[in-house]
Amino acid sequence: MLTTLAQNNGAGGAVGIIGMLFVLLLYLAIIVLVIAGFWKMFVKAGQPGWAAIIPIYNSYIMCKIAGRPGWWVILLLIPYLNLIFWIIILLDLAKSFGKGIGFAVGMILLSFIFIPILGFGDAEYQGPAAA
């Protein structure tokens, strides 16, 4: 029985590293785009843009923009329950910017696309929807 061993010249490893770097750069670009979208959205609503990069505080500001009480941030820290309240906040956030239920569903399912659309688009803040 003959067995053949394949030689590895190292090219496969280089392609793998380049692929990983591409995925990493794409991931970082998406993160920067989403943060910039949040920043612009906060500024449109009359809030400080820098709040988009502060964890937990940005959730408080989103509650404020959507017209929900600030103590809802505590509910967002509870596993599984946070999903329900996050969906409610996103629905109210879409209404606050004059968008419909379809846009809200887009924000729920594809936030990384719809948040920048809300921030960089022509949507105007119309006041808290839940108030």
The verdict on residue 1 lying in a domain is: no
Phi/psi region, residue 123 (left: phi>0; alpha: psi -120 to 50; beta: rest), is: beta
> CA 57, 58, 64, 66 torsion: positive or negative?
negative
The verdict on residue 50 lying in a domain is: yes
> Domains in the chain: how many in total?
1
The verdict on residue 125 lying in a domain is: no
List the domain range (segments joined by +) for residue 69.
11-120
For 51-82, write each residue's pLDDT tens digit: 999 999 999 999 999 999 999 999 999 999 99
| CB proximity list for 75: less than 8 A, separation 6 or greater | 81, 82, 85
For 77-101, write each residue's pLDDT tens digit: 999 999 999 999 999 999 999 999 9
The verdict on residue 4 lying in a domain is: no
What percent of the chain stands above pLDDT 70? 89
Q: How far apart are CA 65 and CA 68, in angstroms?
A: 8
Furthest-apart CA atoms within the chain: distance in Å: 79
The verdict on residue 56 lying in a domain is: yes
The verdict on residue 39 lying in a domain is: yes
The verdict on residue 3 lying in a domain is: no
